[in-house]
Amino acid sequence: MLDFGALKRQIDRMATDRKTMQDDFFDRVERALLEMNKWSSCWTDLADKIATSRTSWLVARPSEALTDAHPLPARPAQLTVIASDGSQIFPDRHEVSNCYLINIGYVVIHYGTGERPVLASQPHLFYEEEDLYQEWAGRRMTVTRDMVGVKRGAMELAQVAMLAEQARNEGRTVVGLSDGTLILWMLEGKPFDFRRQTLQATLAGFERMRKARVPIVGYISDPGSADVVNGLRVGLCPETPPDCDRCPWKAQELQQALTFPKGGACAGVPCEQISGVTDDILYARRLKNGERSGVFPSTSKILDDYGPHRICFFYANTGVEIARIEIPLWVAEDEELLDLVHATVCDQAEKGRGYPVVLSESHERAVVRAADRDIFYKFLRDTFVKNDVKAEMSLKQLKKMAASV
């Protein structure tokens, strides 16, 4: 049986530790806010320091004061908002045929015109040899889940670009929304030719949007990024220029830890005073409902090949949360398009009760549920039998089917 006396002592200790951690975190937030205010009038000095620093984290380089807050612009009376989302049935070697499905859901909502929205989806079946096998870095390999996911992302963007071009040709004001980041983080560590092909497909979609003068927007709900806070951490560093690889403070901390293994006087690493704080927590204290922060270019190395489509971001108070909004550089440099994006994302979040309604609707059109997957494979089996096509199923799948009878 449980020793409740011993258990209670451990629970008390856990509660005390959690309270200490909570108090420490709040102290870090307050220190980060003080640092933000300190650099408000000399933000160019901080930008220069960041530019010469060598850090192990992503750092936002300010182009205006970190404390600047931009009011919510008016949304155009007539506006078309487009979004696309995707879902898939991955290749399954245990099933009747080696193939996969990508379902693209898309939504076009016209505001101020009285027109009915477009709510639809389009399935795409892939079974050809070139769909199932790819050659990367001189090796022929079976398509993986990562590759299917990348293909799906390119198809989502192409769908938005096509619908945006159509709407612009009709003389409409248009904004395209995407759920999540516009930065291809998944390309890190991938073969060169895979990276190149993926990047070319993505940039082609961005270029179509740029030529149509339709902003493409990545909406990130509940972001955990700390690019701005990391810039403040650079500001806290007393070294000139800061170089994380040769940090004398970390070396000193390690030496003191070895000298005093049970603890002792240690000033610690200066930049660690605000580590753990995220950007959304800071801007929740700085931005009023509807306001946005300044725009920051992302410093991700992946973006070096993006050209005019290099991704920038800002934070917006949607009334429910602080969202991270990503846009290409050509949108960030166009004040009219920037205001259009700001107005649209806040309006969409309000209409969706905290999350852009056009993204919610496109997800609903795209999602492939378990029942849909079962029907898909039943269609395959029935069609193969009807057309006298040899169908092979693994023992694992046959057992699964027998168990469900």
Going from the first residue of the chain to its last (405 residues), give the mean pLDDT of each consecutive group of 10, the final group possibly shorter.
Answer: 84 83 84 92 91 88 92 97 94 79 96 96 91 79 85 93 96 96 85 84 94 96 93 89 80 55 58 90 95 94 90 96 97 97 97 95 94 86 77 50 54
Q: What is the dihedral of CA 180, 279, 286, 81, to 10 degrees?
A: -10
- The yes/no answer on whether domain 79-224+286-366 falls in CATH 3.40.210 is no
pLDDT of residue 262: 52
pLDDT of residue 398: 42
For 388: left if phi > 0, alpha if psi spans -120 to 50, otherwise beta; the answer is: left
pLDDT of residue 394: 43
The owner of tokens 């639809």 is 120
What number of other Cβ atoms are within 10 A of residue 289's Cβ? 11
pLDDT of residue 310: 95
* R_g over Cα of the chain: 26
Task: Decide if 106 contacts 365 (C-beta within 8 A).
Answer: yes
In the chain, domain spans: 24-60+227-274, 79-224+286-366, 370-404
DSSP state of 116: P
For 351: left if phi > 0, alpha if psi spans -120 to 50, otherwise beta; the answer is: alpha
pLDDT of residue 191: 77
Reading the block at residue 405, the tokens are 């009878």
Q: How far is CA 342 from CA 43, 172, 293, 336, 346, in A?
A: 23, 18, 10, 10, 6
Q: What is the dihedral of CA 223, 67, 350, 321, to 10 degrees?
A: 30
The Cα–Cα gap between 42 and 253 comes to 30
The owner of tokens 């870090």 is 28
Residue of 87, 179, 92 lying closest to 368 (CA atoms): 87
Beta strands per DSSP E along 163-204: 174-179
pLDDT of residue 19: 80
Q: 393 CB contacts (<8 Å, ≥6 apart)?
A: 94, 95, 96
The Cα–Cα gap between 185 and 134 comes to 21
DSSP state of 70: B
User: What is the amino acid identity at position 43?
Assistant: W
What number of other Cβ atoms are within 10 A of residue 86's Cβ? 29
pLDDT of residue 270: 83
Q: What share of the chain is helix, strand, coil (3-state, %, to 5)?
A: 50, 20, 35
The Cα–Cα gap between 369 and 43 comes to 50
The long-range contacts involving 332-337, CB below 8 angstroms and separated by at least 24 positions, are 332/295, 332/297, 337/213, 337/215
pLDDT of residue 405: 53
Task: Decide if 384 contacts 391 (C-beta within 8 A).
Answer: yes
What is the number of alpha carbons within 13 Å of residue 112 lying toward its C-beta?
Answer: 10
Beta strands per DSSP E along 231-376: 296-297, 311-317, 322-328
Q: What are phi and psi of 100, to 5 degrees?
A: -150, 160
